Amino acid sequence: MSKSKKERGICELYAEDPERADYLVFGRVADKGRRGFLKGAGLVTMGAALGAAIPFHRNMPAGLIPAAYAESLADFKIAGKNGLTVLNDRPINAETPAHLLNDDITPTDRLFIRNNGLPPENMDPATWTLTIDGDVERPMTLSIDDLKREFEVVSYALQLECGGNGRSAFNPPARGNQWSLGAVGNCMWTGVRLVDVLNAVGVKPTAIYTAHYGADTHLSGDPDKLPISRGVPIEKAMSPYNLIAFEQNGGPIHPMNGAPLRLVVPGWPGSCSQKWLTRIQLRDVEHDGPKMTGSSYRVPKNNVAPGTDVPKEDFEIIHSMPVKSLITLPETGITLPAGTTVAAVRGHAWAGDNFISRVDVSHDFGTTWTETNLMVPPNPYSWQTWEVDVPLPEPGYYEIWARATDSEGNQQPFAINWNPKGYLNNTMPRVAVTVGA
């Protein structure tokens, strides 16, 4: 009896290996610039599937799902989430349009989803345990009730962001989820301080790095493979604002956001904040789990020209995220009624381990800048909300730009700092506004 073939949708194929999917579906091969080389039968196949010729097919990024197919993901519903744009269905990755992130505290149903593997089937908090071991004096295995009973429970507004947020703006394109600006959020997390638990187990002097493990499984189904296991230097782990969290916005953590237990390590790439947390190991070396080595969550040590082929030894791991901002009001592309002379503009800003010192906006393509009213955050590592009224002196098209500056004097650039993996895009956000005549 012959074995039946495993049926896989186009989104699953592209999630597993975008360039391999290109070859299997369309015969498209990537060149060194990460463009997808379509010619001959492959070009005819894609054109026939789309129902039209593709005038600029030479510019298509390798591994790009044509939007005509990608739009079908709009029918992919995620329970407990509202308004998110789904980028992948296996693993599930979804971002939030900027205008839906206007709240100071991001509602649970609007926090982005970044998965590397498949979530566990069992997320019962009553049976969940966390093991802390490695270079510690007293290894422990704790239930969630143990954590609540033995350590102080605290709540902080903490900002989380995917290291690849903004990747869709890179040219040449970078491989990976093509996030626009919505892989970020600022929820109220409740849990116990990681440092309190580490102090309880006793950190040995030899410990220099943490290693985080979750209950999610590899896309291949191989139980011996981990989809992701990252960590942080022990100095970062001892910050009082890292949480072992068991609540999100006063309720259960959403299953796609790591229920029932997760790390929240704010200010650093969201990949450090292990979801479905089951183990924290202290190590005497830099952790080398999946997505910790090679070029994963790493950028070149020095700036490089777009399209440069960077040797792996010239990469360094990402620690604190750069200064960033987001315009959440008005929604880009909006047309305001005739006679409108002022637009209320609002957004958020954040800066990794730093604070935001000011945010300025421009309505005349950067010729002049107006300082905004910057709110005081409820605690460190929360994003900071800002707002300002912007003049719109006559009918027509305007672009509103925002530019944040952090406590170390770092300022958002206008031009992107290209890197091969598409990380750390902190260019100034822009929204388009038209005033009717």
Per-residue model confidence as pLDDT tens digits over 289-327: 999 999 999 999 999 999 999 999 999 999 999 999 999
Cα-Cα-Cα-Cα dihedral of 241, 245, 249, 251, to 10°?
-160
* pLDDT attached to residue 55: 74
Mean pLDDT on 341-347 = 97
Confidence class of residue 217 from pLDDT cuts 50, 70 and 90?
very high
Question: Running DSSP on this structure, what letter comes out for residue 26?
Answer: H
Mean pLDDT on 201-228 = 95
| Domains in the chain with CATH codes | 10-69 (no CATH), 108-317 (3.90.420.10), 324-435 (2.60.40.650)
Lowest-pLDDT choice from 41-50, 271-280, 281-290: 41-50
Examine the pLDDT at 230 and tell me if it is beyond 60: yes
Confidence class of residue 219 from pLDDT cuts 50, 70 and 90?
confident
Residue type at 30? A
Mean pLDDT on 5-16 = 51
* pLDDT attached to residue 17: 64
* pLDDT attached to residue 8: 46
In order of 73, 229, 296, 409, the CA distances from 90 in angstroms are 11, 19, 19, 40
* pLDDT attached to residue 50: 62
In order of 23, 48, 314, the CA distances from 41 in angstroms are 12, 10, 39
Q: 131 burial class (0-12, 13-18, 19+ CB within 10 angstroms)? A: middle
* pLDDT attached to residue 68: 60
Angle formed by the axes of helices 18-26 and 40-50, to 10°? 90
Residue 192 and residue 150: Cα distance in Å, rounded?
Answer: 9
* pLDDT attached to residue 314: 96
* pLDDT attached to residue 77: 75
Examine the pLDDT at 338 and tell me if it is beyond 80: yes
Residue 106 and residue 238: Cα distance in Å, rounded?
Answer: 26
Please state whether beta strands 356-362 and 373-374 pair in parallel, antiparallel, or not at all (unpaired): unpaired
Residues above pLDDT 70, as percent of the chain: 84
Please state whether beta strands 396-406 and 430-435 pair in parallel, antiparallel, or not at all (unpaired): antiparallel
Q: Using an 8 Å Cβ cutoff, are 86 and 75 in contact? A: no
Mean pLDDT on 164-191 = 96
SS3 category, 14: helix
Beta strand residue intervals within 165-254, DSSP E: 184-193, 209-214, 243-248
Max CA distance (Å), the chain:
75
Examine the pLDDT at 133 and tell me if it is beyond 80: yes
Question: Using one digit for the tens of pLDDT, what is the confidence trace for 87-110?
Answer: 887 788 999 999 999 999 999 999
* pLDDT attached to residue 65: 62
* pLDDT attached to residue 37: 52
Examine the pLDDT at 5 and tell me if it is beyond 50: no
Q: For residue 327, how many other CB atoms are within 10 A of its CB?
A: 26
* pLDDT attached to residue 38: 53
Residue (of 318, 324, 124) closest to 231 by Cα position: 318
Examine the pLDDT at 32 and tell me if it is beyond 60: no
Question: Using one digit for the tens of pLDDT, what is the confidence trace for 351-363?
Answer: 999 999 999 999 9
pTM: 0.85
Mean pLDDT on 403-412 = 98
* pLDDT attached to residue 220: 85
Confidence class of residue 387 from pLDDT cuts 50, 70 and 90?
very high
Examine the pLDDT at 12 and tell me if it is beyond 70: no
Residue 186 and residue 399: Cα distance in Å, rounded?
Answer: 26
Examine the pLDDT at 2 and tell me if it is beyond 50: no
- Please provide the size of the chain in residues: 437
Q: For residue 129, how many other CB atoms are within 10 A of its CB?
A: 14
Mean pLDDT on 275-286 = 98
Question: Running DSSP on this structure, what letter comes out for residue 136?
Answer: B
Residue (of 108, 200, 104, 97) closest to 147 by Cα position: 200
Residue 150 and residue 141: Cα distance in Å, rounded?
Answer: 12
Mean pLDDT on 269-297 = 97
Question: Running DSSP on this structure, what letter comes out for residue 176?
Answer: S
Residue 255 and residue 238: Cα distance in Å, rounded?
Answer: 27
CA 9: distance to chain centroid?
24
Examine the pLDDT at 34 and tell me if it is beyond 50: no
Residue 139 and residue 125: Cα distance in Å, rounded?
Answer: 21
